[in-house]
Amino acid sequence: MKKQRICIVGDGLSGLVAALALNKLEGLEVHLIFRKNKLSKDKRMTAISASNYEYLNVLVDKLDKILFWPSKNIDLFYETKEQSMNFLNFNEESKNLMYVFENEKIKEILIKEIKKKKIKTLQKNINELKDLDGYDMKILCLGKSSKIYQSIVDKRSLNKDYKEIAFTGRVRHSLKNLNTAQYFLKEGPLAILPFSKNNFSFVWSVDKEFPKKDFNLVLKSIICKVLKTKKIKISNQQSYPLTLNLKRTYYKNDTLILGDGLHTVHPVAGQGFNLVLRDINKLQELLKYYTGLGMSLQSTPVLEDFTNNRKSKNIITGIGIDITHNFFKKNKLLDPFKVTILKNISKNNTLKEISKFISNQGLSI
């Protein structure tokens, strides 16, 4: 029987993982299409849950564990006038809660795996959907703002400009036993993501109007204050504007949007790429089911089923992250009650276990 052809457009993390996932299915021929011009290196770090790490481990033969820095402890702090309050901490003795990796290194591993699996790759600039004629299914992993999406989605997407900028970078330090942590500071949330013994990545979100004068000195001062140290070295700084975008339309005919094009969320909860991996996992599962029945892709409701399964979960997660972010922002009416609320949260073990489960598995049960 002639294999059905699927093209995946985009060679970012989403496209590379999707190509490997769908290539595992019998009866499908996967093509990976990417732009001819070479993009700049991705210096960012990414955090994924333990369940998503296990999923990657299934997709990639002999995944190099050295490239993934595990965390058994995650601390959440809220800055009061007097001190930083550790209102929630997740910890495990025998298993890891999450993993942090360097994007560029993992992309190199995924590309090697794609070559090893002999997945066909094509260098081609895609300007409109008709450039992809001839495929039974098209999957677009083109980031969050591709103009091609305009021919697929309607105008009912949930959009919000946070009017904030996220600053990221790497920090070298000499601290011992540094845990993964999220600090809710008066200037904005600061995430600390260790990725080796003496290095961590940070994501600091601040208002667009935050003073730019002497910013590097302010940044260093903030990090030194929360970690109670004076010896750090910051490098590889980058910044990007923060928005919320949750698509209501996921597909049209035989074309699906995947990755950041479906959902862009605030980094405060570290769920961005986790949502993408859960999407890819579900798509792989549905395609396996329908192709296993011997059905042609164009005659199956696979994209409708995918949308029905994932859209509500992604929207609820995105809105939940937005509510969390709003809660910790400065608010004259709410601020006097936050400490009391957070103290009650810290005492509630059931809520803690539910939060841990959702962080790991998402809303899937």
- Please give the average per-residue pLDDT across 130-154, as a whole number: 90
What is the mean pLDDT of the segment spanning 58-70?
A: 91
Q: 155 and 176: one domain?
A: no
Cβ atoms 242, 266 nearer than 8 A: yes
328: pLDDT strictly greater than 50: yes
Q: pLDDT at position 354, please?
A: 75
Number of domains in the chain: 2
- Predicted TM-score (pTM) of the model is 0.94
151-165, 248-262, 308-322: range with lowest mean pLDDT:
151-165
pLDDT value at residue 80: 86
Query: Same domain, yes or no, for 226 and 247?
Result: no
* Closest CA relative to residue 103, chosen from 32, 160, 43, 178: 43
Q: How big is the chain by its Cα radius of gyration, in Å?
A: 21
User: Where residue 273 sits, what CATH number does that domain have?
Assistant: 3.50.50.60
Say whether both 147 and 276 belong to one domain. yes
Residue 183's domain spans which residues? Answer: 169-240
Same domain, 37 and 119: yes
The token duo for 7 is: 């093209």
Q: Look at 284 and 127; give whichever has higher pLDDT.
A: 284
Q: 61 and 202: one domain? A: no
Claim to verify: residue 63 and residue 111 sit in the same structural domain: yes
Using the predicted structure, report yes or no on whether residue 365 has a pLDDT greater than 50: no
One domain for residues 157 and 211? no
Q: Please report which confidence band the pLDDT of residue 38 belongs to, taking 50, 70 and 90 as the band edges.
A: low
In a domain, 339, yes or no: no
In a domain, 357, yes or no: no
Torsion of CA 84, 85, 90, 92, to 10 degrees: 80
Task: Examine the domain organization and report whether 193 and 295 are in the same domain.
Answer: no
| Average confidence (pLDDT) over 233-245 | 94
How far is the CA of 274 from the CAs of 55, 79, 115, in angstroms? 11, 27, 25
Is the domain of 276 the same as that of 132?
yes
* Average model confidence (pLDDT) across the chain: 91
